[in-house]
Structure 1
Amino acid sequence: MTTPNNTEHANIAVITGASSGLGEQFYETIAHRYPDLDEIWLIARRKERLEALAERYPNIRARVRALAFDLSAASSYDELSSMLAEEQPVVRVLINNAGFEREGLLRDMAPKDILAMIELNVMGMTMVNRVFLPYMRAGSFEVITGSVSSFAPIPWQTVYSASKAYTRFLARALHEEERKRGVNVLLMSPGNMNTEMNVQGTSTGKLGHLPYLDLKRETARTLMMAERGHATYTPMLFYKLYRLFAKLMPSALAVKVTSIENGDTHGR
């Protein structure tokens, strides 16, 4: 992989998992919050959805590029690396958001779903950093999408919560690594979100009773926190208190409280 030279090139924002949910809302917020960007790169698997999103805000200055990549495939990172090496952009904003979720007993889960969570939430999250961080400069920042599921082990969400625990450690270490050159890495840990895969009011079990985030408000607040150099952000008082509970409670006790048995199945 190539490290950029000092030539000035386009200032860009990159959003992975951009085709729906939190990623789609980050796109809307970034498009209007940063009018001086030259380009916004939208990355996800659904090409037609990305192309429709790219045309949503015709009056913004930035050129919006719909880039269909499967970030669970290692070959995608070779292609992205080649693009970056050729174009040499400056990545001012990176939203590392692509993720996948399935719930249920591990012994009953489809192997392809287990592998998809590991490949996207662990390998993909890591390789997005490896590919794009060399193109970030002092004043740039990254938002990594974690989850409140990372705060304690969660039965019936075993693989997902473990993958997000990996993300939490990765983000915190990267914050320290990149801080020294003026690049901020912030971990956002959201709870329930009203998306097409988790529509508010349709979930059953414990998850259905948890509060839902206002995505428009929270994406703006997350970007503000990242601009100011914060390392972590957990939206909503309820989830902040849960984070404190999980920190103070021994995991052997916390795991008995956090079980989401009989919960629904989600994906992102």
Structure 2
Amino acid sequence: MNRISGPLGAQATDVEMNAMRYKFVSEQVSVFYGEKKVLFDVDLKIRANAVTALIGPSGCGKSTFLRTLNRLNDTVDNCRISGRILLDGKDIHSPDLDVVELRARVGMVFQKPNPFPKSIYENVAYGPRIHGLARSRSEFDAIVETSLIKAGLFNEVKDRLHEPGTSLSGGQQQRLCIARAIAVRPEVILMDEPCSALDPIATARVEELIFDLKENYTIIMVTHSMQQAARVSERTAMFDQGHMVEENDTDVIFTNPADNRTQDYIMGRLG
């Protein structure tokens, strides 16, 4: 079980008030697996309704950081976190914060499409059912249709909703997973290399979807593709060897980075 220092008190400090201007704020966040420190004192502010890309070489800590934002690292044995992570100014490790509620607010889309072994309809309806977001069949129907529309998939599957989700193509499966995440009405969508297993056409569809979704969701995306980060994100954070090297507007990171490690990574000389 993870432990994190610094739960919020009754009175909001200046730090908490400042954090509320952002969707997420990480403050001196470090991650340990046993005695091994893999993430070092990360300070990062994530803007609401924008796409933030996390880039850097393999093993640099970007996916580890992403998983701290919805406490997925809680499931890893001997994992310990220090520092503080605020969501809308509230410490996500506060004793009165429900982890199930947190993961409904902060959805996750993984590298490899992972639809449930259920129908397309039930893949999307599953989350709303366990969270009690709908009661009648008509309410479930509306959530499923709306989620599939937002994920850009409804027109392709509207006549086959009761077929297995695994019967879809890889790109369609990934959009189904995005629809599944959207269905529980999250505020944030975490994406861990969502296009790495997809062909170029499917990747383009998912990138178009990400661009559309940012109007209503905060999106934080790990990607190894510099071109993808440049195409879809407003902000980019560079990681290397467990440290966050720098963070800025994406065009600044790619045209005038402040750190040589960022320049070396973008030019293919690092990682």
**TM-score, normalised via structure 1 length:** 0.32
